[in-house]
Amino acid sequence: DTAVSQTPKYLVTQMGNDKSIKCEQNLGHDTMYWYKQDSKKFLKIMFSYNNKELIINETVPNRFSPKSPDKAHLNLHINSLELGDSAVYFCASSQVYLAGRDTQYFGPGTRLTVL
């Protein structure tokens, strides 16, 4: 059974389009995250949700809007895609968000390419 799954695995789209990436976890965790890994391989957190509520919102353009319909899902919607949005996006989850008890389990990633 896949613990954290993301769809799609690959996403190629034109500049200016709107796209969504879906994430689901079947671990019963309370906290979910979105990370972006750029071409230089830096992995940076974007958002974190705990019990469907936003708890971390890094400096991310407001074209990025996470949505958590329930604790098991955290989707990422991106409006007006730009070339710089090309990256691999990882979803993750943890039981809680407190350090020492927040082992994060990552999904396989979604490679977004904006042309």
Partner 1 sequence: DAKTTQPTSMDCAEGRAANLPCNHSTISGNEYVYWYRQIHSQGPQYIIHGLKNNETNEMASLIITEDRKSSTLILPHATLRDTAVYYCIVRVANTGNQFYFGTGTSLTVIP
User: How far apart are CB 50 and partner 1 at their closest, in Å?
Assistant: 7
Query: Nearest distance from residue 11's CB to partner 1, in Å?
Result: 15
User: Whole-number minimum distance, CB 88 to partner 1, in Å?
Assistant: 8
Q: 75 or 104, CB closer to partner 1?
A: 104
Tabulate helix, strand, coil % of the chain (nearest 5). 5, 55, 45
Beta-bridged to residue 20, according to DSSP, are 77
- Judged by beta carbon, residue 18 or residue 58, the one nearer partner 1 is 58
- Could you please report the per-residue DSSP string of 21-41? EEEEE-S--SEEEEEEE-TT-
Q: Is residue 18 within 8 Å of 79, Cβ to Cβ? A: yes
Euclidean distance between CA atoms 4 and 25, whole angstroms: 4
* Residue 10 or 82 having the CB closest to partner 1: 10
Q: Which residues bind partner 1 (CB under 8 A)?
A: 4, 33, 41-45, 48, 50, 55-56, 58, 90, 92, 97-100, 103-109
Q: How far is the CB of 19 from partner 1 (least distance, A)?
A: 20
Can you read off the two tokens belonging to residue 24?
């689901």
For partner 1, give the closer residue by CB, 64 or 90.
Answer: 90
